[in-house]
Structure 1
Amino acid sequence: MTDARGSDSRVGETNARRAPGTPCWVSLMVHGPAATHDFYGALFGWEFRPGPQQLGPYARALLDGREVAGIGQLPPDRQLPTAWTPYFASDDVNRTAESVRLCGGTIGVGPLDAGEAGRLAIGSDPSGAVFGIWQAAAHLGTAVAGVPGTPVWNELLTYETRGVAKFYETVFGFEPAPDAAPGRDHVTLLLDGRPVAALHGVGDALPRDRGPHWMTYFEVADADASVELLAGLGGHVLTPARDTDHGRVATVADPEGARFSLSQRPR
């Protein structure tokens, strides 16, 4: 994980339109949305209200009345894995989707309109990791940052970064900044010199049941307390809370198996 917060110390509402390539939203598709709402509501203090229904039943998660994430329902006849998906901002989702295809990725959903909120597509990179593309209209994306219960970082876990780094550089205009540490396959993605996401090549350590995938980090006030709460709510602790250069971090999963990380700022 790379700490993006050092380059952007703003805490509070983030109502500005994002520059193309900026992570702007995270969304989760599940089989049982009611139980999932209860889980994340108890864990992060989220409340929910209906959102655009173009992809089926969908709700936006609110923190103190401000939108932070989305949760939708998977088709009941499809047993797909549940996973948090980051969305990257685009000024033209059709053009970005075409770039995805030309660079060896695929587009599985869209581009399509999400009511008055905006326009979206869901695709995957050449390694198979799924991500979203968001062209904002009325809905600009996550409306608050820098407080517990909000997404703070997104990192791609993949076999190796060399091939996919070029893909994301070409499609979204990122500036790749490889880690100089020997034996570490890690690339920070920059926009205008500011870190916004990262790629981490983990080779054979990648979970076989998941393959390459994006990991969303959510900020918490106390990682250990949040892990204990999560376990009591039926979640799963995959990697216990540990100290890192960027704070205390735990890797966890919700009751349906969607993986994410809890991130506590350094004290």
Structure 2
Amino acid sequence: MTTEPATRRMPGAPCWVSLMAHGLSATQEFYGALFGWEFRPGPQHLGPYARAFLDGREVAGLGELAPDRHLPVAWTTYLASDDADASAEQIRSYGGTVGVGPLDADEAGRMAIASDPHGAIFGIWQGRSMTGTAVSGEPGTPVWNELVTQDTHSVGPFYEHVFGFESEAVVSADFDYLTLYLKGRAVAGIHGVGSALTRERGPHWMTYFAVSDADAAARRVAELGGHVLRPARDSAHGRLATVADVEGAVFTVIEQR
């Protein structure tokens, strides 16, 4: 569950993750203490925004919502695009919705915020001076992105048509999962969870962050004022835990094998 930097730049591949929160300062403190991130100002086209760095390399973005915008606080996965405007048209053509943009993020690139036909929100990023996450797979960096939805067969074709993914189903009687490939490389997944998908959360993209110790990371989340939603457990790809930050943004930490 990791992708090489060159793969992440392919059109369609997850290339960046960003979080819009209500309290930017407190959110920076949480992730700085959890992952060791440092922060520098980023494009301000949607309000206050900072880029997170680990050892001098860009790994994620944190922004602040306007006080009058009572939106769910969640991590957003951005998919790479060579042409954000063309991608937006494709999204609309196959039943998705473009809610923001496309618009320029200063000199960094051009972006849009969209949702698939089932309502899962994701971003589009056409990089210029900033092409995306500089490192993946090391502790404190994004390592995988996965769409959690009701079932794979009804939404898989949307992502295949719009972004050119090839998909491979995980063969299991009780596990509905598609691995998405670009040029033979696994770049993301779609997990159908059926009735386990809550009405409050709905379909959503999940960001996985690599950690050196999933149990210790979950404990640290709780110490910092976050919540452990699913305690650390073993999986085929490593030990992982599902957690939420101080404002309730959900993400997964994974200790890779």
Superposed pair shares fold, TM > 0.5:
yes
Equivalent residue number for residue 125 of structure 1: 116
How many residue pairs were aligned? 257
Residue 214 of structure 2: aligned partner: 223
Distance 1:79 1:134 in 2: 24
Match of 1:200 in 2: 191
Give a deviation string over 1:226-259, Cα, whole Å, max 9, x none: 1111100001000000011111000000010100
Say whether 1:79 aligns with 2:85. no
Distance 1:112 1:144, change over 3 A: same
Q: Give the conservation status (yes or no) of the 8 Å contact 1:17–1:136.
A: no
Q: Distance in 1 between matches of 2:183 and 2:23?
A: 40
Quote the Cα distance in structure 2 between the aligned partners of 1:135 and 1:163.
Answer: 27
Q: Deviations over 1:86-142 (max 9, x none)?
A: 101000000000000010000000000001100000000000000000001000100
- 1:198 maps to a residue whose letter is G
Contact 2:7–2:13, Cα closer than 8 Å, also in 1: no
In structure 2, what is the Cα distance between the partners aligned to 1:195 and 1:17?
A: 10
Counterpart Cα distance in 1 of 2:24 and 2:245: 12
TM-score (norm 2): 0.97
Indicate the residue corresponding to 2:203 in structure 1: 212
Distance of 1:113 and 1:88 partners within structure 2: 16
- Kept in 1: contact 2:113–2:124 (CA 8 A): yes
Q: What's the Cα RMSD here?
A: 1.2
* Paired residue type of 1:87: Y
Q: Please give the alpha-carbon distance, in whole angstroms, between the structure 1 residues aligned to 2:241 and 2:204.
A: 17
Q: Which aligned pairs between 1:162-241 and structure 2 lie closer than 5 A?
A: 162-241=153-232
Cα separation, partners in 2 of 1:178 and 1:64, compared to 1, 3 Å: same
Cα distance in 2, alignment partners of residues 32 and 209 from structure 1 = 22
Corresponding position: 1:96 with 2:94: no
Stretches of 4+ aligned residues off by more than 6 angstroms: none
Which stretch has the larger CA shift, 16-25 or 226-235?
Answer: 16-25
Distance 1:184 1:236 in 2: 26
Q: CA deviation at 1:68?
A: 0.2
Matched, 1:47 2:38: yes
Deviations, residues 69-100 of structure 1 (Å, cap 9, x unaligned): 00001121021100101101000000000000
Alignment partners' CA distance in 2, 1:16 and 1:115: 25
Is this contact kept in 1: 2:148–2:193, CA < 8 A?
yes
One-letter amino acid of the structure 1 residue matched with residue 68 of structure 2: D
Gaps of 5+ in 1: none
The aligned counterpart of 1:106 is 97
The aligned amino acid for 1:79 is H
Q: CA deviation at 1:146?
A: 2.1
| TM-superposed deviation, 1:207 | 2.2
| CA distance in structure 2 between the aligned counterparts of 1:236 and 1:199, rounded to whole angstroms | 24
* 3-state secondary structure, aligned to 1:167: helix
1:63 aligns with 2:38: no
Q: Give me the identity figure in percent.
A: 65
Say whether the 8 Å CA contact 1:15–1:140 is kept in structure 2. Answer: no
- Matched residue type, 1:168: Y
User: Retained in 2: the 8 A contact 1:252–1:259?
Assistant: yes
Amino acid paired to 1:153: W
**In the alignment, is the contact (CA less than 8 A) between 2:41 and 2:50 conserved in 1?**
yes
Equivalent in the alignment of 1:246: 237
Closer, same or farther: CA 202–57 of 1 in aligned 2, 3 Å: same
**What's the CA shift for 1:17?**
7.7
Q: Which deviates more, 194-203 or 175-184?
A: 175-184
Separation in 1, partners of 2:179, 2:83: 24
Structure 1 counterpart SS, 2:99: strand
